[in-house]
Amino acid sequence: MVRVGGPVDRCTVSLRLFSDDLDPAAISALLHAQPTMSHRKGDVLRSKRGDRVCKRGRWILRCEGDPGATLAELIDQLLDQLTPELAAWSSLSARCDMDLFCGLFLEEENRGLTLPASTLQRLAERGLALGLDIYTTPEDDRADAECAECVTEPSSHPSANESGSGPTSEP
């Protein structure tokens, strides 16, 4: 039997910052948190797919909640771990490309969600773009999401994302 409709089955949320001169320790000090992963420009990343040289520095903090957690709950949980000082966020947005990258995992078609205005306000106050990647194939979703989280970046030109061109890729 095929079910239609209902909430998104599982979500992940990652705060991502990218910059050519990104200093992971300085970002951690400003945000009062340690990243899940971070790299400086020029670092060599080793993986099963081969070695890659980071073209830009990156600082990523990932939040993955319980299976029943909503996207809004995960966003709030992640932001609650970080500094509430909007001046720190303003400083970061002036020198980094930043976004909140969200993986939405669907076990069935036609799932949906709503973000409350209070959550959207928190993102806007911090200058965070919201990126949504939607996965519908359960066997490949985790690997695809983790790969996309690390190699796609928010566009450094805000108008590019507004026109629907989506994220750019960094090999």
- pLDDT tens for residues 120-149? 999 999 999 999 888 886 555 455 555 555
**pLDDT averaged over every residue in the chain:** 81
> Is 1 inside a domain boundary?
no
Smallest Cα–Cα separation from 56: which of 22, 89, 28, 29? 22
> Is 18 inside a domain boundary?
yes
> Is 5 inside a domain boundary?
no
Q: Give the residue numbers spanning the domain of 42.
A: 10-169
| pLDDT value of position 167 | 41
> Is 134 inside a domain boundary?
yes
Averaged pLDDT for residues 5-29: 89
> Is 86 inside a domain boundary?
yes
For 136, the token pair is 């519908």
CA Rg, the chain, in Å? 16
> Is 72 inside a domain boundary?
yes
> Is 123 inside a domain boundary?
yes
C-alpha–C-alpha distance, residues 153 and 171, integer Å: 11
| pLDDT value of position 99 | 96
Which residue type occupies 105?
F
| Element of type H or E holding 44 | strand 44-45
> Is 51 inside a domain boundary?
yes
Q: Minimum mean pLDDT among 47-51, 61-65, 111-115, 120-124: which range?
A: 111-115
Q: In total, how many domains does the chain have? A: 1
| pLDDT value of position 80 | 96
Statement: residue 159 has pLDDT above 90? no
| Element of type H or E holding 57 | strand 57-63
Statement: residue 39 has pLDDT above 60? yes
| pLDDT value of position 131 | 94
